[in-house]
Amino acid sequence: MQYHTKEMSNKVFIFDLDGVIVDTAKYHYLAWKNLANELGFEFTEKQNEQLKGVSRVRSLEILLNLGKVELSEDKKRTLLNEKNQEYLEYVHKMTSDEILPGIQVALNFLDDNNIKYALGSASKNAPLILKKVGLFDRFTAIVDGNDVSKAKPDPEVFLIAAKKLNKTPNYCIVIEDARAGIQAANNAQMTSVGIGDKKVLSQANYILDNTEMFTVDFIKKLIA
């Protein structure tokens, strides 16, 4: 169903990937957990929260800190590669069934109303994941870990996405599930929508418990 207003056509959306479009966080967790076990310590799901929205290199630093393990730069590079290979094995098995609830309906609504949207993710595997779940061609622009030099909460990823969408930040609405992502959106002076824990995402302009709450009615409210 089309829903046209002049204001509406001016707004654009920028989606994070993990925890917003799909949940690959579980695969990251399994790969990091196996790596920690290999290094001789436990890594819990609660500790894994610290890795959300963080680059691969920084994630390894946090993990090694937690395990009080010191390694050479060469060994770190080897482990990063090993972790990524295991993660990719999970990714290659992904299908459209892994798109989070409500997201297909939301994207259909945006498409029907010619509202552009981009991806803004720290993941270097973002294009592959989107291809696996059948969404790659739907996005006007894809900005991933290969395009940025600064990690969230630096706003770089979202500012590049805005540029690719030909919009200034005040017209951009960012959908995120990580504190660093919300901070990045706010630092870019964009509207931020957090999906997840209200305490963690307290700095967001809007907070939804889950992706199912990212409804057509909510989108209409955002762009009104």
Active-site residues: which are they?
16, 18
Q: How many CA atoms lie within 13 A of 38 on its CB side?
A: 11
Q: What is the C-alpha separation between 222 and 135, in angstroms, rounded?
A: 23
- How would you label 207-224 residue by residue, b for 16+ Cβ within 10 Å and e otherwise? bbeebeebebeebeebbe
Integer angstrom CA distances of residue 112 from 40, 115, 148, 162: 52, 8, 31, 21
Q: At 173, phi and psi to the nearest 5?
A: -120, 120
